[in-house]
Amino acid sequence: MEITFFGATREVTGSCYLVRGKDVTFLVDCGMFQGGERNRNAPPFPFAPRDIDFVLLTHAHLDHSGRIPLLVREGFQGKIYATLPTIELCRILFYDTVKLMREEVERENRRRRRSGKPEIAPLFGEEEVEKALELFEPVGYDEIAEEKGVEFVFRNAAHILGAAVLEVWGEGTKVVFSGDIGQFGNVMEGSPPVIEEADFVVIESTYGNRRHKTLEETRREFAQVMQDAMGTCGKVLIPTFVVDRAQRVLYEIRLLRDSVGLHCPVYFDSPLGKQTTDIYLKYRHLLSGELERLHLQDDDPFGFPGLTYVTTPEESKALNDLDHAIILAGSGMCTGGRILHHLKHNLFKATTTVVFVGFQSRGTLGRALVDGAKLVHIFDEDIAVRARIATINGFSAHGDQEDLLRWVGYFRSRPVFLVTHGEEEIAEAFAQALREKGFEAIVPAFGDTLDLPRRTVVAVPRMPEKEDIVERLEREIQKLRGRTLTQESEVLLQSALILLEEAGRRSTSADELPKDGV
């Protein structure tokens, strides 16, 4: 058996692992690339979808699930195993992604028609989503399932509702796929599972080089940020993922209303907001003890006076007329969704506060704001950034290095760890932390294959990245400046110019491919 890594390698998004055995081929996750990597979502896949027997899906977040409809469009016909909450969340997220992609493609095609460029199409539509949803097969937590000689169990990952750590057995080998691991004792889903035996572990490393603040520190920090924001009499914008993070923020605002008297109208501006929160309430028995205690009191942990769910575009636009409000809207990394409209209308105001409550991938607008950008580009318009930018990492649904190492410490065997789902320097730092604990740790690159019986990684030949090639060309051109060219060198440069022009014609710019809309 072997594993080939086709996503979330030295980066945070695009989770997709291809597992091949003697008589079986299956995927663990098939997620979207986000941020600066989103153009990689367009087909073809680096494998034949028709050859995939089944998919094991760790959870509903689009960077793990978002390309499943595209996989179906390209020929996949097998089962997709997931927990029931994951299936319900995927349903609403997939249809919302279709809507957002359609809107993005319509805007892009208007620009293309004006410039005479060919039009583009979304990655997939409702038809592919409907076909994908028909293929889902629910699996309960801790239930042993089997297909084509492969056994697997879903364990509660304490990341988001329905998220799972996978234990997979095949051909005499056990592999654990961490998916995304939550914090121990987290407010929403409790603690991740204790697993003691494995031969190999594919482990995430999103926060593998840092430590979150404690719950008490995080709540004090959030209270201070919100109280300071209330003093400006402006808006508080909270870019948030509609699944889990939004519900956590609603719960924390509810607590602040009781503890410090935070009384300000709160708007959850998302057509999915009410649907998602209702799913959380439906499966509240899978949430933490802290939230279940409220259930015993017949109390809604995510509801309070002054909260309004905003569904229609007209209701969303009406929020522009408000001077003072707390607005939650997606997407969490500001790559699309209604948060972009709110940022466009409020970033330039010094009275605005933007509170980030989740990881921001490289290449996203959210990352640019967190990194201190003073000018950003939204909907073809340059927007000055005068708003206060705050970051609360303690609300993350991902465990930090301490959580990850604690989870690792429960393994009695000495598995090989394959470190994924982290930016390169973070993944490498976490791999080193594992090595210091006495474990063997490997950070695979895209396309690398792990041969399980031989415990070796077969690396694919690396081609220089496009940016590296352009930088090398620029350096060589700079060297030529001020030099006297011979006739022979001029001929060579003319030939090089012809090749560069042809390369430009065959290249695709970042705005010429459909975006993932998440």
What is the arithmetic mean of pLDDT over 331-348?
Answer: 93
DSSP conformation letters of 82-110? E-HHHHHHHHHHHHHHHHHHHHHHHHHHH
Dihedral sign computed on CA atoms, order 317, 318, 322, 326: negative
* Mean model confidence pLDDT for the chain: 90
At a CB cut-off of 8 Å and minimum separation 6, what does 379 contact?
340, 344
Q: Look at residues 453, 456, 449 and name the one whose alpha carbon lies nearest to residue 19.
A: 449
pLDDT band for position 387 (50/70/90)?
very high
Strand order across the 17-20 sheet: 136-138, 79-82, 54-56, 25-28, 17-20, 2-5, 449-451, 456-458
| Locus of tokens 């056994």 | 151
- Distance, in Å, from the CA atom of 192 to the CA atom of 113, rounded to the nearest integer, reads 51
pLDDT band for position 517 (50/70/90)?
very low
What is the arithmetic mean of pLDDT over 389-399?
Answer: 92
Residue 349 tokens read as 């105001």
pLDDT tens digit string along 17-34? 999 999 999 999 999 998
pLDDT of residue 518: 34
User: If 0-12 CB within 10 Å is exposed, 13-18 middle and 19+ buried, where does residue 223 land?
Assistant: middle
Find the farthest-apart pair of alpha carbons in the chain and give their distance in angstroms, rounded. 87
Residue 501 tokens read as 């022009």
CATH 3.60.15.10 is held by the domain 2-210+397-458: yes
Q: Please tell me what DSSP assigns to residue 400.
A: B
Q: Where in the chain is the domain with CATH 3.60.15.10?
A: 2-210+397-458
Q: Is 244 left (phi over 0), alpha (psi -120 to 50) or beta?
A: left
pLDDT tens digit string along 364-374? 999 999 999 99
Instruction: Report the top-level CATH class of 215-395.
Output: alpha beta
DSSP conformation letters of 262-301? ----EEEE-TTHHHHHHHHHHTGGGS-HHHHHHHHTT--T
Least confident of 168-177, 244-253, 298-307: 298-307
Q: Where in the chain is the domain with CATH 3.40.50.10890?
A: 215-395
Report the alpha-carbon angle 193-94-124, nearest 5.
130
Residues 288, 159: contact at Cβ < 8 Å? no
DSSP conformation letters of 314-356? HHHHHGGG-SSEEEEES-TTSSSSTHHHHHHHHTT-TT-EEEE
Question: pLDDT at residue 493 above 90?
Answer: no
Question: pLDDT at residue 510 above 50?
Answer: no
Residues 121, 128: contact at Cβ < 8 Å? no
φ and ψ of 192, to 5 deg: -70, 165
pLDDT band for position 294 (50/70/90)?
confident
pLDDT tens digit string along 41-64? 988 899 999 999 999 999 999 999
State which of 2-11, 33-42, 227-236 shows the largest mean pLDDT. Answer: 2-11
Residues 397, 180: contact at Cβ < 8 Å? yes
φ and ψ of 156, to 5 deg: -65, 115
Instruction: Give the CA radius of gyration of the chain.
Output: 24
